[in-house]
Amino acid sequence: MSSESSLFSHRWLPALLLAPLMLLIVLFFYVPVFQAFYWSFFLEQPFGGGSEFVGLQNFQRVLSDPEFWGATGRTVIFMLTASSLAVIVPLMLAVAADRKIGMSYPARNILVWPKGIAGASIGVVFAFIFNPFVGLMAPLNSLFPGLWNPGIDGTDAFVTLVAAHVWSGIPFNFVILLAGLRSIPPTMYQAAAMDGAGPWRRIFDVQLPLIMPQLFLTFVLEFTESITSVFALIDTITGGGPGGSTTLLVYKIYVDGFRGFDLSGASTQTAILMVFVLLLAACQFFFLGRRINYER
Amino acid sequence: MVENARSINIAASILLAIGILYIVGPLYLTLSTASQSYEYMLRNGLAWVPGTELFANMGKVIHDTRIPVQMLNSMIVAFSNALATCALSFLSAYAIVYFRIRWAGVAFALILATIMLPLDIRVITTYQVASNIFSPLNGVLDFTGLNSLIEMVFGAPVQLELSVLDTHFGLIAPLVAHGTGTFLFRQFFLTLPKDLFKAARMDGAGPIRFLIDILLPLARPSFASLFVLTFLSGWTQYLWPLVGASTPDMQTAVVGLARLVPDADGQVPDFPMIMAGAVLVSLVPLTMIALLQRFLVQGLVLSEK
């Protein structure tokens, strides 16, 4: 047998094996993605009332809407604050759990638990814990009235969202970063120790530089994640309020489309959000490309 | 290595203790509040100590709400999502890696691209497709002019209509249309030695036999990892089941839980009952994590590579 035949040759079998998944992906991924861009050039009537080509009018309407820019600005702020925290907190925990200490075993187990709790479930729980009248801050609130009320103060509501997002994001980032740390060969530490680097110094001079690939990766994945998965948290904790101060783009699209029946507006915003996310993904590939240089 | 690392070990222990507290704290408060009565919660707010009302509150959830039916829905959705993703991804990765097809790279790129735009972003138009899964076909027929031809011949154009909204299939299918599984199996296949394939060919194994007798047993750990991962993701979905199912009896437990909180302001909601619901809804996935943690961690690491 020649080395050329290291693969099967078959006329229709591979197509048949690929067909079921491909069919689902075309139907529920490519058609919706295409339709979002397509509809952004049409004025769609709800309930199948026909459509009319309007060129760039939808984009003009959306881009001149201050609410759209407000939601976009809040999305970017959330992306930067929540995802930075959702990487830095697990990073510190992973560096700590990488040491051979008594706490590291239970920590490795417990820090994965949030993976099993739905965003909406923890949203319901956080809405209760941060409730101004019966929650954690209630005793402080009775001492200093008006200190904490996510129902009125937009910043308080935003902080609650960030806290819940970081909570849910810990498992994935922790596991990835810990795996990166554990793959650093012990000789690296020994060499650094020979050169006189103490354990604190080695964190910054050996560990952090060597897990840069994982760190970049978690950051970029976390950017996309924070944009989309925040929907469940907003819907259960703040409902977009107070006064729209936690209406992020993904929530605004849902409200416009499913409550306001503005299909064209929602599709146009979907298209814009997709382009934004794809640009982020392009950054991801850029970093993945850089990753090869770090390979040990 | 012999050196004094006490200061850093103490700092690390404190840090991990804070981390554990941050994760377990909300879970503990959920459980302790779920075990107190509504009156206790009104008087004292958060319950720091567990009470005796846990089963009474759970009973309220089971009898007065649709959570039990919705948990069954969640079970169906999560289980079918995991099973279908495992099966279809395995087959497609097999086709991509082990067959000489010219378009293998294109097919893989098309599948992989789904990872970039999550379902939550394209929910508006996915909903439209789900409300009539033949709409793309109708669109193609209209666009290519085939429909006017059919209209000339048969007197009426083809307009097929089938909505999968409010069905289990509709809740599951868009979740399966995802590339992580294919990616995971492809990575696994590429780590297998090439000689394995050659030896099997030498012994006269055809594509089906190679798939069933050799790859399937070898891939068992990958299956377990992917199964746990997609089961949890199916169970914890929120936006898609929220819009994809409109009747309470078709909704999933997570959506039902969020609906327990009344929209209107005014009186304080029955938080102990809601927290009991949160405990019930999280019981299945948490048990799964406790039992199959090894596979979960492995799956997370594999899906990253």
Do B220 and B114 reside in the same domain of the chain? yes
pLDDT of A292 reads: 43
Flag whether B95 is in a domain. yes
Flag whether B155 is in a domain. no
Residues of A with CB below 8 A from B19's CB?
Answer: 89, 93, 96, 107, 111, 170
Determine the residue of chain B that is closest to A109 in CA distance. B293
pLDDT tens digits, residue range A138-183? 777 777 777 777 777 778 888 889 999 999 989 888 988 888 888 8
Flag whether B89 is in a domain. yes
Q: Domains in chain A, start-ordered, CATH in brackets?
A: 66-294 (1.10.3720.10)
Contact yes or no for A16/A248 (Cβ under 8 A): no
Do B50 and B72 reside in the same domain of the chain? no
Contact yes or no for B261/B269 (Cβ under 8 A): yes
Among residues B81, B83, B77, the alpha carbon closest in space to that of B256 is found at B77
Report how many Cβ contacts below 8 Å link chain A to chain B: 311
Closest chain B C-alpha to A274 CA, distance in angstroms: 7
Closest chain B C-alpha to A246 CA, distance in angstroms: 17
The count of other CB atoms within 10 Å of the CB of residue A11 is 7
pLDDT tens digits, residue range B124-162? 889 988 888 888 888 888 777 777 788 878 877 777 778
pTM of the full structure: 0.88
Do B228 and B92 reside in the same domain of the chain? yes
pLDDT tens digits, residue range A200-218? 888 888 888 888 878 887 8
Residue finishing a domain among B16, B34, B54: B54
Q: Is B271's CB within 8 Å of A134's CB?
A: yes
Q: Is B282's CB within 8 Å of A117's CB?
A: yes
pLDDT of A142 reads: 76
Task: Say which of B19, B95, B243 has its CB closest to residue A14.
Answer: B95
Flag whether B225 is in a domain. yes
Residues of B with CB below 8 A from A232's CB?
Answer: 238-239, 258
Flag whether B148 is in a domain. no
Residue finishing a domain among B54, B80, B96: B54
> What is the pLDDT averaged over residues A107-131?
87
Flag whether B156 is in a domain. no
Do B182 and B237 reside in the same domain of the chain? yes
* Lookup: tokens for A124: 């319901």
The three-class DSSP label of residue B43 is: helix
Flag whether B59 is in a domain. no
pLDDT of B87 reads: 94
Residues of B with CB below 8 A from A170's CB?
Answer: 19, 23
Do B108 and B1 reside in the same domain of the chain? no
pLDDT tens digits, residue range A263-273? 888 889 999 99
Do B44 and B169 reside in the same domain of the chain? no
> Can you give the residue range of the structural domain that contains B11?
1-54
Contact yes or no for B256/B67 (Cβ under 8 A): yes
> What is the pLDDT averaged over residues A99-120?
86
Do B89 and B37 reside in the same domain of the chain? no
Q: Is the pLDDT of residue A4 over 50?
A: no
Q: Is B19's CB within 8 Å of A123's CB?
A: no
Q: Is B275's CB within 8 Å of A125's CB?
A: yes
Q: Please identify among residues 165-204 of chain A the ones whose CB lies closer than 8 Å to any CB of chain B.
A: 167, 170-172, 175-176, 179, 189-190, 193, 198-200
Flag whether B255 is in a domain. yes
Among residues B271, B114, B296, the alpha carbon closest in space to that of A179 is found at B296
The total number of structural domains that make up chain B: 2
Give me the CATH number covering residue B200.
1.10.3720.10
Do B42 and B169 reside in the same domain of the chain? no
